[in-house]
Amino acid sequence: EDFSNFDPSNQQTWPKTARAIVTAIQAAEPRLQNIHVKIKGYNTSLQSLEIAVSAFLKERKLLKEIHFSLELFRNSQGSGQAAA
């Protein structure tokens, strides 16, 4: 996904952004299943999206639920950057 014109304050783009994050996680970490991405809100002072991710990690016979947070920033050049 190209985030060069990403505007985190535009709520209409949040569903597409969430789907792109799921796709990226699936590609990078095939052990994760049932991935859910929830956009929690927009942080005006940081100009970033606050994101919650949950999934199940499958390793051999173990299936463990995991949760982590992400922030997707808009940098000064207008492109999106993610931080965990």
CA distance 52 to 61: 26
Contacts (Cβ under 8 Å, ≥6 apart) of 59 = 31
Contacts (Cβ under 8 Å, ≥6 apart) of 49 = 8, 14, 17, 39, 40, 41, 42, 43, 71, 72
CA distance 25 to 59: 16
60-74 pLDDT tens trace: 888 999 999 999 887
Q: Is residue 56's pLDDT more than 90?
A: yes
pLDDT at 61: 86
pLDDT at 5: 74
